Homo-oligomer: A and B are copies of this chain.
Amino acid sequence: MYEVPKIPQATAKRLPLYYRFLQNFSNAGKIRVSSRELSEAMKIDSATIRRDFSQFGAFGKKGYGYDVQELLQFFRSILDRDEATNVALIGVGSLGSAFLKYNFHRNHNTKIVLAFDTGSPHAGEKRSGIFSFHPDVLEEKLIEHSIELVILTVPAKAAQPLADRLAGTDIKGILNFTPVRLDVPDRIRIHTIDLSVELQTLIYFIHQQET
């Protein structure tokens, strides 16, 4: 197992972004890149980038910048795991369907491999190319497919009961698109994206700017 540096959550959130932008620079044939160039491309201030990179042990040389391939190698070692991460989606409504169609194409190591929906039969059916099963068979299918991560796109009232069942399985993370704050054991990491909250927050900020 490679050494994973302990880095703050705010920095960690930028890791996949750094990786993507460095890939872009690499694809464009760039050998080296300055924090200023990264800053302009990513809309993150350059002091933050330099601080982040120094936490990874990467230090730019004055008048040279960073070596693109060296940085890429580093980010690859952290983010691009050899084993794929198997993801299941629960709730094939309109948002769930969109995710099945999208299926995170940009990241070859991460894939929704199965889905669950109350409208699907126990034996499963294809939905946007992915097998979707009735939630009655949730636990056995999660084990069968070694699922580590679940994307939750169910109606709010179904969220906590499902989280309770997931707490009895070996999954390690839930990407929660319901507005419910889920109650699960500490070993399951939850990341909630509440689209309504995101929208309201943006509205709050644009009106604050008016004053």
Question: Footprint of B on A, CB under 8 Å?
Answer: 1, 4, 6, 9, 12-13, 15-17, 20, 41-43, 78-79, 81, 85, 87, 93-95, 97-99, 101-102, 104, 106-107, 110, 148-149, 151, 172-173, 175, 179, 181, 183, 187, 189-191, 193-209, 211
**Structural contact, A211 and B149, CB atoms closer than 8 A:** no
Nearest Cβ distance between residue A158 and chain B, in whole angstroms?
Answer: 16
Select A203's contact among B6, B106, B110, B203, beta carbons within 8 Å. B110
A selection of 23 A-B contacts at a CB cut-off of 8 Å is: A12-B201, A12-B204, A12-B208, A13-B197, A13-B201, A15-B201, A16-B200, A16-B204, A43-B183, A81-B207, A94-B97, A98-B98, A104-B199, A106-B196, A110-B199, A149-B202, A151-B199, A172-B209, A173-B203, A173-B205, A187-B209, A189-B209, A191-B198
Q: Chain B residues with Cβ under 8 A from A179's Cβ?
A: 20, 106
**Structural contact, A148 and B206, CB atoms closer than 8 A:** yes
With A and B bound together, what is the CA distance between A190 and B201 in angstroms? 11
With A and B bound together, what is the CA distance between A128 and B173 in angstroms? 33
Select A193's contact among B15, B172, B198, beta carbons within 8 Å. B198
Nearest Cβ distance between residue A8 and chain B, in whole angstroms?
Answer: 12
**Structural contact, A181 and B41, CB atoms closer than 8 A:** yes
Nearest Cβ distance between residue A155 and chain B, in whole angstroms?
Answer: 11
Question: Beyond A104-B199, A191-B202: 15 further Cβ-contacts under 8 Å?
Answer: A4-B208, A15-B200, A16-B201, A20-B179, A41-B181, A42-B181, A43-B181, A87-B199, A98-B98, A106-B196, A110-B199, A110-B203, A148-B203, A149-B199, A191-B201
Considering the complex of A and B, which 9 residue pairs feature the smallest CB-CB distances, nearest first? A94-B98, A172-B206, A16-B200, A173-B206, A95-B98, A98-B98, A94-B101, A16-B197, A191-B202
